[in-house]
C-alpha cells in the first residue's frame, strides 16, 4: 500500500504478503520501496527481490530468489 506512514511488512492476508510503503506510486518509487522493504525484512540484497507483475497495480507479484518460508513462519505463524 503506497503512501503509508512507514515501510513495513504487515503480515499474510489470504495468500499474499501485505506490505506498506511510504513512497508514492510514481515513476516506480513504490515498487522500489516494496523491493527494499522485502529485502530488509528477509535480510537479503535488494537484487534478490524483483517486482515481476503488477507494476502499476496495488497488487503485485514479487519474485524472491531465496526460500522465505521459514522467515514467514517465524514471524506470522504460517507461510504462503
For residue 3, is it within any domain?
no
For residue 25, is it within any domain?
yes
Give Rg (Cα) of the chain: 12
pLDDT one-digit tens code per residue, 22-74 = 998 899 999 999 999 999 999 999 999 999 999 999 899 999 998 888 888 88
What was the pLDDT predicted at 2?
A: 64
Report residue 49 as a C-alpha cell: 527481490
Q: What is the tally of structural domains in the chain?
A: 1
Q: Which residue has the higher pLDDT, 68 or 7?
A: 7
Range of the domain at 43: 8-76
Smallest CA-to-CA distance from 2 within 20, 15, 18 is with 20
For residue 2, is it within any domain?
no
Helix or strand run (H / E) with residue 37: helix 29-42
Residues 7/37, Cβ–Cβ less than 8 Å: yes
What was the pLDDT predicted at 8?
A: 94
Say if pTM beats, i.e. exceeds, 0.85: yes
Amino acid at each position: 500500500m503506497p503512501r503509508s506512514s512507514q515501510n513495513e511488512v504487515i503480515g499474510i492476508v489470504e495468500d499474499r504478503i501485505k506490505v506498506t510503503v511510504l513512497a508514492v506510486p510514481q515513476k516506480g518509487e513504490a515498487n522500489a520501496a516494496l523491493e527494499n522493504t522485502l529485502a530488509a525484512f528477509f535480510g537479503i540484497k535488494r537484487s534478490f527481490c524483483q517486482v515481476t507483475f503488477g507494476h502499476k497495480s496495488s497488487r503485485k507479484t514479487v519474485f524472491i530468489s531465496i526460500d522465505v518460508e521459514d522467515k514467514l513462519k517465524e514471524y506470522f505463524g504460517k507461510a504462503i
